[in-house]
């Protein structure tokens, strides 16, 4: 039977989805509410007149149609409110049965596909291949005179940001330009997973999320090393690895790295895409189940390494300010955060996993370093590599009193 929209006069009306951002905007003199879906289930660009804000504020998941109608007096009929609610439901904006069934259909459709489509084209970068090439060329040209330290050329791995290209384009270019003379046959990408936490039933006990899909970008397809993925999948639960890959659907942390790698490396190479979710348990108990899985995964990853395998580690540093839950603006925290970042980067450059975990667990990741899980896993895997710092940057989002820091390291 086809999924049914909400249609009850006595049942509680579903609330607006908790992961839906409602952003006030102005367009042609009109005040609007723009609905931004971080999970990209609903269609982008949907907006309503700001006059509907009082109704939206009442959708708390407890009130019935009659109760909500009573707030507006005799001038508004129940059937008008119900029609509005059903429209919101149809647009997949409510946390309803209709939304859950439709979102599950979308997720299953992705899991059944053979390829993963771009998530950021036409937003962070052009979707036209020739324009994309010119876009990346322009970024690389901006730093061409700065990349002169030949000692910083990575031979085994690069830790680099995944922040929006419109914010950190220069730092991406500075880091990735050091790779131009390499020709690896296989690239393992270990990247922050921003979305696996949305699926606790699927990823509980599985911090490492692989995918056997090819990755599509404008003008290029990246094939996955099926043998490597299959080998890790066979070890599955013992190493905390799964190939149930819906966390990859809209994740940007691998995609942004492939943009530069694919532009610089024209030869054919296969990829091993791995998202790394939260490993916070080791802040409290390094020898527990999570610690054991990290150790086992590190052993398994080291076992599939070859001389022509290169590693990309995708992660940013601190996330601070009101946007991320702090009670004070980011600008007032800058000195402390930069000091914290320096110590984190020092541990990473020294390839000292014990120093890194000690630093991060002292206050239980106080500044939300999203690059910690993939980078910590990597240095646990390859403790003998030498790191060299490439850059460090601070993006101050002043209008939201928030900031993100990010940096790069060559190994």
pLDDT at position 147: 53
Could you tell me the pTM of the whole model? 0.93
Residue 160's CB is within 10 A of a number of other CB atoms, namely: 31
Residues 391, 373: contact at Cβ < 8 Å? no
Task: Provide the pairing of β-strand 115-116 with 157-160.
Answer: unpaired
Q: Read off the pLDDT of residues 316-325 as tens digits, 9 standing for 90 and up.
A: 999 999 999 9
Task: Provide the pairing of β-strand 241-242 with 208-210.
Answer: parallel
Instruction: Please name which of 363, 271, 352 lies closest in space to residue 310, comparing C-alpha atoms.
Output: 271
- Say which residue, 75 or 296, is predicted with more confidence: 296
Greatest Cα pair distance, the chain, in angstroms, is 76
Cα(112)–Cα(89) distance, rounded to whole angstroms? 26
Domain residue spans of the chain: 20-105, 115-410
Write down the architecture of domain 115-410 according to CATH.
3-Layer(aba) Sandwich (3.40)
Q: Read off the pLDDT of residues 284-300 as tens digits, 9 standing for 90 and up.
A: 999 999 999 999 999 99
Cα(215)–Cα(118) distance, rounded to whole angstroms? 8
Q: Read off the pLDDT of residues 324-372 as tens digits, 9 standing for 90 and up.
A: 999 999 999 999 999 999 999 999 999 999 999 999 999 999 999 999 9
């Amino acid at each position: 039977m086809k999924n049914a929209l909400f249609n009850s006069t006595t049942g509680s009306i579903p609330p607006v989805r908790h992961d839906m951002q409602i952003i006030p905007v102005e367009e042609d003199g009109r005040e609007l509410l723009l609905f931004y879906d971080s999970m990209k289930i609903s269609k982008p660009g949907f907006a309503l007149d700001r006059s509907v804000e009082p109704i939206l504020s009442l959708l708390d998941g407890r009130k019935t149609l009659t109760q909500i109608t009573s707030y507006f007096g005799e001038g508004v009929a129940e059937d008008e409110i119900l029609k509005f609610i059903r429209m919101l439901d149809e647009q997949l904006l409510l946390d309803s049965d209709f939304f859950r069934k439709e979102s599950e259909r979308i997720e299953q459709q992705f899991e059944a596909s053979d390829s993963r489509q771009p998530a950021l084209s036409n937003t962070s970068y052009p979707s036209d291949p020739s324009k994309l090439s010119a876009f990346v060329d322009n970024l690389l040209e901006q730093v061409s005179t700065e990349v002169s330290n030949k000692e910083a050329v990575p031979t085994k791995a690069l830790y680099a940001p995944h922040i929006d290209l419109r914010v950190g384009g220069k730092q991406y270019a500075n880091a990735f330009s050091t790779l131009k003379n390499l020709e690896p046959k296989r690239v393992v990408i270990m990247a922050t997973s921003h979305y696996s936490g949305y699926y606790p039933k699927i990823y509980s006990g599985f911090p490492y999320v692989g995918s056997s899909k090819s990755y599509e970008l404008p003008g290029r397809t990246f094939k996955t090393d099926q043998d490597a993925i299959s080998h890790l999948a066979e070890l599955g639960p013992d190493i905390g690895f799964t190939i149930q890959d819906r966390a990859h659907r809209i994740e940007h942390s691998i995609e942004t790295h492939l943009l530069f790698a694919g532009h610089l490396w024209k030869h054919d190479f296969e990829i091993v895409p791995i998202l790394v979710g939260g490993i916070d348990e080791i802040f409290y108990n390094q020898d527990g189940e999570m610690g054991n899985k990290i150790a086992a995964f590190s052993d398994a990853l080291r076992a599939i390494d070859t001389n022509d395998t290169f590693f990309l580690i995708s992660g940013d540093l601190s996330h601070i300010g009101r946007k991320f839950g702090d009670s004070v603006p980011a600008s007032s925290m800058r000195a402390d955060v930069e000091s914290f970042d320096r110590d984190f980067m020092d541990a990473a450059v020294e390839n000292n996993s014990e120093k890194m975990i000690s630093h991060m667990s002292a206050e239980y990741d106080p500044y939300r370093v999203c690059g910690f899980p993939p980078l910590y896993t990597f240095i646990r895997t390859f403790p003998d590599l030498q790191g060299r710092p490439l850059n460090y940057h601070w993006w101050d989002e002043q209008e939201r009193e928030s900031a993100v820091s990010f940096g790069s390291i060559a190994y």
